[in-house]
Amino acid sequence: MSTNKLALIRYRTIDNCLCQRHRKWTLEDLIEKVSDALYELEGIHNGISKRTIQGDIQLMRSNKLGYNAPIIVTDRKFYSYSDPTYSISNSPITSLDMKKMKEAVDLLKHLNGFSYFDEMSDMILRLENSLIKSEGAQKPVVQMESNKLLKGLNWISTLHHAILEEIPLLITYKSFKSLGPIQDVYYPYLLKEYRNRWFLICKPKKGNLLITLALDRIVDIDEMAKNGFIPYEGIDFDRYFADTIGVTKSQKDRGQKVILKIDSFNAPYVETKPLHNSQQIINKHDDGSIMIRLDVILNFELEREILGFGENIEVIAPRNLRDRIKKRISKNLQQYTKEIE
């Protein structure tokens, strides 16, 4: 149970008591009311200590939480608010609170741009409008990478719901290789994002192995009866993708030892931003270049990562990956040795 949540229950209970001015509140009364609230809301049986409530009162009186509650003690026994209109629920939002809320709204807007939850749109808009009125316009300080031209983002909410509720899906899908759309039943297990492109990890009804579907290739989705769902019973997906750059992987793939040589110009970049969690520096050369090891499966995303460094990287091992990169570079070079028509 979150300590912050329990503390908030205590503050609200104390506040609710002190707002009831028709009776006088002793410390013992407050302890009893807080204990009752913790039992009712969270099932906590062991009550609360006198020291904790005294600490809560001191904290509410202070500016640490922005309350500055005018709590006084009369007759050295009874607690009350000196201002009869005061309540912590009426406390103004501090500038620090406003800053944090603005940052949170910016992040929510980013998530909403990917259609995580359609019902969040109105809430985010109301929050943003309230913050603008309260704080005034200010320049953005956080800008997250996004591509609003991407297709398939409209499927995220549907797929998210189907994964949570374990609903089989009839998906109409057109891969880059197929001549037309193909319909199949799939059991959805995971939504995964890689470089602003979204993918569904699932198992087809007709197969036994996991596959990856790109959301931008989905044509249509229909929900099937829930009782036909087959849960995923393999290893957790954090471990499943632990040896993978990107999303292209089958259950039969296994990580291999990949040795790469990085030139001196890019070595600091690769050291501070590893290509993969498994990255190890196995040698540092006098000229500033480095040799690194990755334990990853050999897939398209790995090749694209390597090719992205151009002449600044060299594949040392394994031989089949080195030959594959060499072939692709040679083919690329041919495009630049002929005249543009």
The enclosing domain of 293 has a CATH number of 3.30.70
Q: Check whether residue 120 and residue 182 sit in a common domain.
A: no
Q: Check whether residue 267 and residue 333 sit in a common domain.
A: yes
Number of other residues whose CB lies within 10 A of the CB of residue 140: 8
* Structural domain total, the chain: 4
pLDDT of residue 115: 45
Q: Label the pairing between strands 182-194 and 197-204.
A: antiparallel
**268 inside domain:** yes
Find the mean pLDDT for residues 75-92.
Answer: 87
- Look at residues 234, 251, 316, 324 and name the one whose alpha carbon lies nearest to residue 283: 316
Q: Check whether residue 86 and residue 100 sit in a common domain.
A: no
Q: Tell me the residue range of the domain where 28 lies.
A: 3-90
**60 inside domain:** yes
Beta strand segments in 133-268, E: 169-173, 182-194, 197-204, 211-214, 218-223, 256-262
Q: Domain boundary residue among 36, 64, 90?
A: 90
Q: Domain boundary residue among 213, 240, 267?
A: 240
pLDDT of residue 7: 87
Is 292 exposed, middle or buried, given 0-12, 13-18 or 19+ CB atoms closer than 10 A?
buried
Question: Contact, 201 vs 214, CB < 8 A?
Answer: no
**148 inside domain:** no
- Residue 116: pLDDT band with limits 50, 70, 90: very low
Find the mean pLDDT for residues 149-177.
Answer: 89
Find the mean pLDDT for residues 129-149.
Answer: 58
Query: What CATH number is attached to the domain comprising 192?
Result: 2.30.30
- Residue 2: pLDDT band with limits 50, 70, 90: very low
Mean confidence (pLDDT) of the chain: 85
Give residue-wise pLDDT tens across range 141-150.
556 666 667 7
**248 inside domain:** no
**202 inside domain:** yes
Q: Domain boundary residue among 90, 111, 143?
A: 90
Find the mean pLDDT for residues 274-286.
Answer: 95
**178 inside domain:** yes
**210 inside domain:** yes
Residue 62 scores a pLDDT above 50? yes
Query: What CATH number is attached to the domain comprising 57?
Result: 1.10.10
- Residue 339: pLDDT band with limits 50, 70, 90: confident
Q: Check whether residue 56 and residue 40 sit in a common domain.
A: yes
More confident of the two residues 138 and 67: 67
**152 inside domain:** no
